[in-house]
Amino acid sequence: MVQKAERVTAPQILGRNTGRPGRPVGNITRGTTNPNRMRRVDRWLTGPQAWRLRNAADPLVVDLGYGAAPATAVELYERLSAVRRNVQVFGIEIEPERVRAAIPLERPGLSFRVGGFELPVPGKPALVRAFNVLRQYEEADVAGIWRLVQDRLAPDGLFIDGTCDEIGRRVTWVALDAERPLSLSISVRFGSFLLPSDVAERLPKALIHRNVPGEPVHALMQAMDRAWLECAPLATFGNRQRWQGMCRSLRDTGWPVHDGPSRWRLGELTVDWDAVAPLAGGGAG
């Protein structure tokens, strides 16, 4: 049964940031999932962010809210094992039946537990991935939920709050360390959109209601579309080249674009969070 998402209050944030057992913080969500749905964010975690897991004193990873089936948690374990063989992945779900169904898939390095945003795991995670979870909460609750998870991170730990379509063709995520949001990433499959701004319907909860004139994320969407159209001649060489041209144009016009062609060619774009953060009065920032 899917419940209306509860408000994450200040007492919960103050009292549930230690990983102690107790009532999970959060509510049961729809749990929609599909195999390979998280491949784009996982490719980022095993690429430019792999150093965090390699350097971690404790290679602890959480897949928070993996859904009605544990396929994406299993995939995360398999992909991260290539980065660090002794990785420990915990799939966390607030619905006990989903955890019971996943238990037969446990193996050394992969476990499943009942829990929520308090992260009931033994230690401080190097990585926490929560996809299509906060999308089902209130925008005003995002900052509190972020803080609750951030307070559980290890030094150099990373929290990924993201959203994607049903089969992972249009994906966005915010990356946060223990102190603040760091970046917004967009990753799309070529051929799945007419204009880059089509991905706006999959923006994370902190931004999806901010894609309106005057907000920074709307300016990014518009700048992407303009650069994409201006790079139309590159379509002769394929959409991969056109996307790279768009990214280069954004960087050249002052957008704080991360990485370079090796990531752009994958249909990926990452910018500083400060360039897209909601204006004062937003639900997160």
**42-51 per-position pLDDT tens digit:** 999 999 999 9
Query: What is the reported pLDDT for 32?
Result: 72
Query: What is the reported pLDDT for 97?
Result: 95
What is the distance between the alpha carbons of residues 59 and 122, in angstroms, rounded to a whole number?
12
Query: What is the reported pLDDT for 29?
Result: 72
Query: What is the reported pLDDT for 27?
Result: 76
Query: What is the reported pLDDT for 15?
Result: 47
Q: What is the DSSP string of 103-161?
A: GGG-BTTEEEEE--TT--SSS--SEEEEESSGGGS-GGGHHHHHHHHHTTPPTT-EEEE
Record the pTM.
0.90
Nearest to 178 by CA among 126, 214, 139, 219: 126
Average pLDDT of every residue of the chain: 91
**180-238 per-position pLDDT tens digit:** 999 999 999 999 999 999 999 999 999 999 999 999 999 999 999 999 999 999 999 99
Query: What is the reported pLDDT for 117?
Result: 96
Query: What is the reported pLDDT for 66?
Result: 94
**67-123 per-position pLDDT tens digit:** 999 999 999 999 999 999 999 999 999 999 999 999 999 999 999 999 999 999 999
Query: What is the reported pLDDT for 262?
Result: 96
